[in-house]
């Protein structure tokens, strides 16, 4: 089928950018959105023009690299599906399709359809992990896990980190992403010790880089990993509980926001010695 494409072109982060129109003559319904871009790019290269830059890798819906807006929807017209698995079945001959980068203040465009999603990693770096050093783990069977709870943890852990939830959100909020990690860790015994600290630190970071959730629910259908909206309720509950605990124990906040600036400024050995975090080497 023949498709008219309007594709966002932007040479670099500071370029204002513009839509350009292209025509692809032999798109197939079984092709994915990314294969359509492959086809367009082959055409552009043949004409000696610069191809459209876009992030992609596994093409199996698991790496989370890809993500473009198709007709204003993150990943494309089909709900719960990443761009690499979005087929062109809903398009017909002569249709026009508009492809642009994930639109979100939290995701600056680097070039064409490529955006900077490092804000998501900053959320994880502030607490989305279990602090068990290598070689310190006990025999895995010492902590039995209820099968249904393990299943539920897996549901939450399935997030592929693509950022579609943020792109879908009118507020550029990252509650679905953060909630998925917090809910994953909260449902397993291994995550209990740092439970309160984790959610406090992650939410604090999230609020620095992303907008605030107003319960629009736009994120859920955009999520290729089927993360349920209830993780946001879970996140709020965990956060309230953590604040309460914090008041109760007044523990030193070793993951305070002070060290998060390191994510932007570099590691300890390049910093002022007085600013070094505890335990840094």
In the window 244-263, what residues touch other proteins (CB under 8 A)?
255, 259-260, 262-263
139 binds other proteins (CB under 8 A): yes
Binding to other proteins (CB under 8 A) within 53-72 occurs at: 53, 55-65
110 binds other proteins (CB under 8 A): yes
The whole-angstrom separation of Cα 218 and Cα 236 is: 18
The whole-angstrom separation of Cα 281 and Cα 276 is: 9
Residue with tokens 């984790």: 198
Q: State in angstroms the smallest separation of the CB of 214 from other proteins.
A: 27
Q: State in angstroms the smallest separation of the CB of 94 from other proteins.
A: 20
22 binds other proteins (CB under 8 A): no
For the chain, the distance separating the N- and C-terminal CA atoms, rounded to the nearest angstrom, is 60
Q: Which is nearer to other proteins, 104 or 126 (CB)?
A: 126
Considering only 2, 23, 105, 137, the residue that binds other proteins (CB under 8 A) is: 137
134 binds other proteins (CB under 8 A): yes
97 binds other proteins (CB under 8 A): no
Q: Which is nearer to other proteins, 138 or 247 (CB)?
A: 138
14 binds other proteins (CB under 8 A): no
Q: Is 262 helix (H, G, I), strand (E, B) or coil?
A: helix
Q: State in angstroms the smallest separation of the CB of 275 from other proteins.
A: 8
Burial class (CB in 10 A: 0-12, 13-18, 19+), 113: buried
Binding to other proteins (CB under 8 A) within 160-199 occurs at: 160-161, 184-185, 188, 190-191
Q: Output the six-digit token pair for 101.
A: 């980068």
Q: Is 206 helix (H, G, I), strand (E, B) or coil?
A: helix
Long-range pairs of 122-125 with CB within 8 A, sequence gap ≥ 24: 122/205, 122/209, 122/260, 122/263, 123/174, 123/177, 123/178, 123/181, 123/202, 123/205, 123/206, 123/209, 124/181, 124/202, 125/205, 125/260, 125/263
Cβ atoms of 117 and 107 closer than 8 Å: yes
146 binds other proteins (CB under 8 A): yes
Q: Which is nearer to other proteins, 120 or 213 (CB)?
A: 120
87 binds other proteins (CB under 8 A): yes
Cβ atoms of 86 and 80 closer than 8 Å: no
Quick one: which segment of 136-144, 167-175, 214-222, 231-239 binds other proteins (CB under 8 A)? 136-144
136 binds other proteins (CB under 8 A): yes
């Amino acid at each position: 089928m023949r498709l008219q494409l309007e594709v966002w072109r932007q040479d670099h982060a500071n370029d204002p950018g513009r839509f350009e129109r292209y025509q692809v003559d032999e798109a197939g319904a079984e092709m994915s959105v990314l294969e359509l871009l492959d086809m367009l790019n082959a055409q552009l290269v043949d004409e000696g023009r610069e191809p459209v830059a876009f992030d992609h890798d596994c093409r199996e819906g698991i790496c989370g690299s890809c993500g473009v807006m198709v007709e204003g929807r993150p990943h494309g017209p089909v709900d719960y599906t990443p761009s690499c698995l979005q087929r062109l079945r809903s398009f017909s001959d002569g249709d026009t399709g508009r492809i642009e980068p994930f639109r979100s203040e939290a995701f600056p465009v680097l070039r064409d359809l490529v955006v900077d999603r490092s804000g998501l990693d900053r959320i994880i770096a502030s607490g989305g992990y279990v602090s068990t050093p290598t070689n310190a783990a006990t025999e895995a069977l010492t902590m039995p896990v209820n099968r249904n709870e393990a299943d539920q943890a897996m549901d939450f852990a399935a997030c592929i980190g693509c950022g579609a939830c943020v792109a879908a959100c009118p507020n550029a909020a990252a509650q679905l992403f953060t909630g998925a990690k917090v809910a994953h860790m909260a449902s397993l015994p291994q995550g209990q010790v740092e439970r309160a600290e984790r959610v406090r630190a992650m939410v604090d970071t999230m609020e620095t880089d992303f907008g605030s959730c107003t319960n629009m629910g736009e994120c859920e259908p955009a999520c290729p990993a089927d993360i349920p909206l209830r993780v946001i309720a879970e996140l709020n509950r965990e956060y309230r509980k953590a604040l309460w605990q914090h008041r109760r124990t007044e523990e030193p906040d070793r993951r305070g926001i002070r060290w998060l600036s390191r994510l932007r400024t570099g590691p300890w050995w390049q910093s002022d010695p007085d600013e070094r975090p505890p335990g840094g080497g």
